[in-house]
Structures are given as structure tokens and as C-alpha cells.
């Protein structure tokens, strides 16, 4: 069994985790989330968008087949709900865990003008305020904003502009909150995470990253931060050491605790192709969703689907 990380952050790779029904494929997994019972929700770009497993990888059900256009982000709500961000549909849908839509933010299939600042144009992810349930939406590929909504879907305010300075973004790709309500934004092509207060005021930034994509903050007391990082965007540097792809573990102050599978790109167990979404269960196991078709599989001769979801079990 392959092992990654360094003590006390050591993980065993659960090879072949997730038993798909015969004939099903993921195409690729954009995001992953874990509910209060440790059931795992894989948001895929194949024919079955939401694929649900138990923690051992046994298939439970699927849903969303006629609902989503292109999977991008999953956020689990504290009330057994799930927020699904669809970047090609320009919407966020709050759903029950069996797929009933409770609320939709954005107008399905209707993007706002490019870089207008209005929601949404290719929104990417959602975070929730732990105290009052306010909703933060990162927006995204063709916008440079974070939008804050009330729990019932009323737009409260937005912040951000294109650029490289504080409160500016170059692909605002993911978003998370900690137990005190601070807001963490994965500013992907600026190679950093920016930290804001509830009012969108810039607090600090974490640098020395390689295109942070996935972002998850463990709600436990330690509040470990899990960051999925792409590798180099420059083809000539794709095999350079120290540039990812990888999953980095950080403390809540931005100090690096461990780096898992730190490049070059590989299909080997415990290595990565394109870590795009990250989540953690109650036992501390890490689930990593990778957009491996987009980054790697479609460029093969012939094109082929490659591994797109991994479980890393906390070593005991």
C-alpha cells in the first residue's frame, strides 16, 4: 500500500476506491463532499453528475442527470443540504441530499457580461458563514468577484476586481470559511490564498503556492486547511520538482504542515494529475477530485479516461 506525507500527517492510499456500476464512467470528477454520516458525494462531468458512496466506496445512488450542465464545486451545508456550483450554467443550487432543489442562485444558462462584476459568469464555489448561514460565492472564470448572499438568497454585496493586488483576483477559483467566519479565497492564477473578514475587508494573503484550486477547512478544533494545487501551467516546466500537482496541508495561519504527492504529474497511487476539489471525513481521510480528463486524458493518443478520485486514509 502506497503511503504519502510525513508524520504526523501520514496517509495510506486506498487504491481503486469507489465502485461504479457496470458501464458507468466519471468522465472526470470536479468536486467532492462528505456529509454528516461520512457518505461521499462526487460531482462528476459524466452522465451521472452526483454519485454517492459510503466511506468504504460502496455505491449508494446518483442524481442530477437532468439538472447540471458542468460540475464545478460542492459545499456541504450544516443542515444536511448540499450546494452545487455549475460553472457552465452560471448557477448555484442548494439541494437536499437526494437531489431536490431548494433554492437556485443565478439565472440558468444566462451569464452576466464578461467581467461586469454582476453575478454570475462561470461561478466556481460556495462557502457558508458558520454563525448565520450567509452564502459566499466565488465568481470565477469570467468575473473577478466574491458575492455575499443572505441564507434566503438575497444579494448583500460583492467585492473584488481583476488584478494582482490585495482584494484583486486572477481566477477566483474556490472559497471557504473558518469557525470564526474569516473568508479564504483561492486566487488561482495569482498563486495565493487571500483572507478577508465578513465584510470583504482584506486581512492577509498566503503565498508560495502552485495554482491553488481545491480548498477545504476542517471544522474540528485544529482547523487544518487542505489545498489542492495544480502543477505548472507552462508545459516545459510540467516535470519540474516542487511545483505540484499536490495536496498541501496548512494550519489556519498559513504555515505548511505537509505536502502530499508533490509532482510531477502521475497516475501512480498517491500522486496527482489535477487536484480540483478536496474534502475530509470524520476519521480524517482525505478525498481528492481531479479534473484529469481536461488536463491529461483528452490529450492522450487515443484519448482515455484516467483516475479522477482518490481516497487517502489517515494512517493510524
Provide the grid cell at 50. 452526483
pLDDT tens digits along 114-145:
999 999 999 999 999 999 999 999 998 999 99
pLDDT tens digits along 183-211:
999 999 999 999 999 999 999 999 999 99
**Bond from prior residue into 123 cis (ω within 30 degrees of 0):** no
259: domain CATH number? 2.120.10.30
29 lies in a domain? no
Q: What is the pLDDT along the chain (316 residues), one digit of tens a residue?
A: 799 999 999 999 999 999 999 999 999 999 999 999 999 999 999 999 999 999 999 999 999 999 999 999 999 998 899 999 999 999 999 999 999 999 999 999 999 999 999 999 999 999 999 999 999 999 989 999 999 999 999 999 999 999 999 999 999 999 999 999 999 999 999 999 999 999 999 999 999 999 999 999 999 888 999 999 998 877 778 788 888 899 999 999 999 999 999 888 999 999 999 999 999 999 999 999 999 999 999 999 999 999 999 999 999 7
Contact 76, 85 (CB under 8 A): no
Alpha-helical runs (H) found in the chain: 292-295
Q: List the domain range (segments joined by +) for residue 259.
A: 64-266+273-282+290-300
Cell 431536490, located at residue: 100
207 lies in a domain? yes
93 lies in a domain? yes
Contact 27, 44 (CB under 8 A): yes
3-state secondary structure 152-177: CCCEEEEECEECCCCCEECCEEEEEE
Number of domains in the chain: 1
State the pTM of this model: 0.97
Amino acid at each position: 500500500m502506497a503511503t504519502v506525507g510525513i508524520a504526523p500527517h501520514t496517509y495510506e492510499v486506498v487504491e481503486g476506491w469507489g465502485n461504479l456500476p457496470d458501464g458507468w464512467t466519471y468522465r472526470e470528477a470536479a468536486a467532492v463532499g462528505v456529509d454528516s454520516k461520512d457518505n461521499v458525494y462526487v460531482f462528476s462531468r459524466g452522465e451521472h453528475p452526483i454519485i454517492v458512496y459510503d466511506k468504504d466506496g460502496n455505491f449508494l445512488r446518483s442524481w442530477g442527470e437532468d439538472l447540471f450542465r458542468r460540475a464545478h464545486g460542492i459545499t456541504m451545508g450544516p443542515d444536511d443540504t448540499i450546494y452545487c456550483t455549475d460553472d457552465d450554467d452560471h448557477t448555484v443550487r442548494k439541494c437536499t441530499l437526494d437531489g431536490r432543489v431548494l433554492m437556485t442562485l443565478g439565472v440558468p444558462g444566462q451569464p452576466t457580461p464578461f467581467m461586469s462584476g454582476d453575478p454570475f459568469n462561470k461561478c466556481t464555489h460556495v462557502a457558508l458563514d458558520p454563525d448565520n448561514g450567509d452564502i459566499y460565492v466565488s465568481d470565477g472564470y469570467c468575473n473577478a468577484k466574491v458575492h455575499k448572499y443572505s441564507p434566503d438568497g438575497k444579494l448583500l454585496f460583492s467585492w473584488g476586481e481583476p488584478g494582482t493586488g490585495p482584494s484583486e483576483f486572477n481566477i477566483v477559483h474556490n472559497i471557504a470559511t473558518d469557525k470564526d467566519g474569516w473568508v479564504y479565497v483561492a486566487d488561482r492564477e495569482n498563486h495565493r490564498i487571500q483572507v478577508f473578514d465578513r465584510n470583504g475587508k482584506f486581512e492577509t494573503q498566503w503565498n508560495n503556492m502552485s495554482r491553488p484550486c481545491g480548498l477545504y477547512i476542517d471544522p474540528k478544533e485544529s482547523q487544518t486547511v487542505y489545498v489542492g494545487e495544480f502543477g505548472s501551467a507552462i508545459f516545459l516546466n510540467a516535470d519540474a520538482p516542487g511545483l505540484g500537482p499536490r495536496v498541501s496541508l496548512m494550519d489556519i495561519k498559513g504555515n505548511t504542515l505537509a505536502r502530499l504527492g508533490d509532482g510531477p504529474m502521475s497516475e501512480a497511487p498517491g500522486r496527482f494529475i489535477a487536484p480540483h476539489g478536496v474534502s475530509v471525513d470524520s476519521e480524517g481521510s482525505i478525498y481528492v477530485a481531479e479534473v484529469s480528463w481536461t488536463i491529461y486524458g483528452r490529450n492522450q493518443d487515443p484519448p482515455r479516461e484516467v483516475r479522477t478520485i482518490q481516497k487517502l486514509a489517515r494512517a493510524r
